[in-house]
């Protein structure tokens, strides 16, 4: 038996390396680092690694620490050279980054050959660096604020949606022919060109509504209970689902049941039973207040986005693609995108990424500018303010409060929250200094 677990035992020996480093600017956001490590240092590192291995290896026929170097080299030489190569490259790369003050983003692209005892080790590393941003003048910003007035018909739309949501369905006994407005229960099988049919049972459709999908329900009016139909529905060329756009789908439909929708009367009893209010007037007032809050929030978002757009327009700089790639993937993961299985998955992801990427690029650029403004103006957030914000987030999550505290107990998450709060502070100041022009409804 033998033990040669020596991979993680060099931390105490690792020190500065006498490497020759040159840095070439490939672009404002990309550097190539060329590193040359002297042959003597390469050999010294190999000797040190074999010394550690010899002290620990357990080889049959040799006492601990007595195995000849040649045997150790034969059995473990390739592994030791890989380990020493990785350590030398890692140590000298980190040192080169620090000594040349490079603000590296993403992972380096390292091109290193094999390590040869007694020879100079040369390797190159290509890295993305954070751009240097020269802040432009951001005075005189002017943005529009949409009206947050809520028309009466919008209040009534919400009231009617609530009414629809609590409607009762009464079986229709006195007729079998479908009329517009009937709620029809159908078993349906949809067949797309070249695909197997997809079957669903007990689907509820409102006859004549024309909402699922592309006027299928309109073709039910005038049919009768028990009818078995084959309906063809052409999808327009501009349909948002590319798999359906311009195609005709065949539906096999069996009408199983007819029911009438009965809406409760709009009165104070309705407000008490379904709106947690004492009167219909109070219910309408509460709905109006909710809609006005939502409209004010949307208007504030328009103002903030307008300020960011104008600030971005005054700054031109390159952004490392790797940063935009990572942000694109983060946004997609938050969207909970469902990708098709199999070979189409990569293509589908690429299409989603292409749609999301401009948004990701805008986010990264705006964050960089706000960070630079905060640095220039000495705007910061204290540890106490971060803790207060974490507690507010935990309180808002209720059942997930412990999970929120655990997440922000991690230094990386806490630092990210602090940076986000700092940017928010800068953006609020920009908005407060901008000229906001209200729009009339």
Are 313 and 304 in contact by the 8 Å Cβ rule? The answer is: no
Within-domain flag for 328: yes
Q: How many CB atoms lie within 10 A of CB 335?
A: 10
Determine the pLDDT at residue 2.
41
Opening angle at CA 263, ends 257 and 269, nearest 5: 145
Our count of domains for the chain comes to 3
The domain in which residue 384 lies consists of 270-438
CATH of the domain at 255: 3.10.50.40
User: Residue 232 pLDDT more than 70?
Assistant: yes
pLDDT above 90 covers a percentage of the chain that reads: 62
pLDDT, one tens digit per residue, over 102-128 is 999 988 999 988 888 889 999 999 999
Distance between CA atoms of 44 and 38, rounded to whole angstroms? Answer: 10
Within-domain flag for 204: yes
- How much is the pTM? 0.74
Residues 255 and 278 in one domain: no
Within-domain flag for 302: yes
CATH of the domain at 366: 1.10.3120.10
Determine the pLDDT at residue 71.
65
Residues 416 and 285 in one domain: yes
Residues 235 and 274 in one domain: no
Within-domain flag for 142: no
Mean pLDDT over residues 401-427, rounded?
A: 95
Among the candidates 74, 98, 129, a domain finishes at: 129
Residue with tokens 């412990």: 402
Opening angle at CA 400, ends 394 and 406, nearest 5: 70
Distance between CA atoms of 124 and 126, rounded to whole angstroms? Answer: 7
Determine the pLDDT at residue 11.
34
Q: In Å, how far are 30, 190, 205 from 201, measured between CA atoms?
A: 58, 12, 12
Phi first, then psi: what are they for 259, rounded to 5°? -140, 150
Determine the pLDDT at residue 4.
41
Residues 247 and 116 in one domain: no
Within-domain flag for 1: no
Among the candidates 129, 150, 181, a domain finishes at: 129
Averaged pLDDT of the chain: 87
Tell me the range of 60-69, 379-388, 432-441 where mean pLDDT is highest. 379-388
Residues 321 and 241 in one domain: no
pLDDT, one tens digit per residue, over 81-108 is 888 898 999 999 999 999 999 999 988 9
């Amino acid at each position: 038996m033998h033990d040669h677990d020596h991979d993680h035992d060099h931390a105490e020996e690792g020190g500065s390396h006498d490497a020759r480093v040159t840095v070439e600017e490939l672009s404002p956001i990309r550097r190539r680092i060329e590193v040359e490590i002297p042959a003597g240092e390469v050999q010294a590192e190999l000797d040190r690694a074999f010394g550690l291995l010899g002290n620990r290896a357990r080889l049959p026929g040799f006492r601990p620490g007595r195995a000849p170097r040649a045997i150790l080299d034969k059995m473990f030489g390739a592994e030791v050279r890989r380990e020493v190569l990785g350590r030398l490259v890692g140590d000298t790369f980190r040192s080169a980054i620090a000594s040349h003050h490079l603000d590296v983003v993403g992972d380096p692209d390292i091109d290193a050959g094999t390590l040869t005892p007694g020879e100079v080790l040369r390797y190159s590393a290509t890295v993305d660096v954070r751009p240097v941003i020269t802040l432009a003048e951001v005075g005189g910003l002017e943005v529009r604020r949409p009206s947050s007035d809520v028309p009466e018909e919008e209040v009534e739309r919400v009231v009617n949606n609530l009414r629809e949501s609590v409607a009762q369905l009464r079986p229709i006994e006195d007729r079998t022919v479908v009329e517009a407005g009937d709620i029809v229960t159908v078993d349906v099988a949809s067949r797309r060109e070249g695909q197997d049919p997809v079957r669903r049972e007990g689907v509820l459709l409102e006859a004549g509504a024309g909402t699922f999908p592309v006027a299928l329900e309109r073709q039910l009016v005038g049919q009768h209970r028990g009818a078995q139909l084959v309906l063809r529905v052409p999808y327009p060329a501009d349909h948002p689902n590319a798999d359906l756009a311009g195609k005709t789908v065949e539906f096999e439909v069996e009408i199983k049941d007819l029911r009438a929708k009965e809406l409760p009367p709009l009165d104070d009893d309705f407000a008490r039973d379904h709106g947690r209010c004492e009167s219909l007037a109070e219910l309408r007032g509460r709905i109006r207040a909710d809609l006005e809050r939502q409209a004010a929030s949307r208007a504030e978002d328009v103002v903030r986005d307008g300020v960011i757009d104008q600030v971005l327009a005054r700054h031109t700089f390159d952004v490392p693609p790797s940063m935009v790639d990572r942000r694109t993937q983060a946004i997609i993961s938050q969207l909970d995108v469902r990708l098709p299985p199999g070979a189409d998955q990569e293509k589908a992801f690429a299409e989603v990424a292409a749609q999301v990427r401009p948004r990701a690029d805008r986010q990264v650029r705006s964050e960089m500018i706000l960070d630079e403004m905060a640095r220039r103006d000495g705007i910061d957030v204290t540890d106490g303010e971060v803790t207060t914000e974490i507690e507010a987030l935990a309180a808002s999550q209720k059942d997930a409060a412990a999970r929120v505290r655990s997440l922000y107990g991690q230094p990386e998450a806490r630092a990210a929250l602090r940076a986000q709060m700092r940017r928010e502070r800068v953006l609020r100041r920009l908005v407060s200094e901008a000229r906001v022009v209200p729009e009339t409804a």
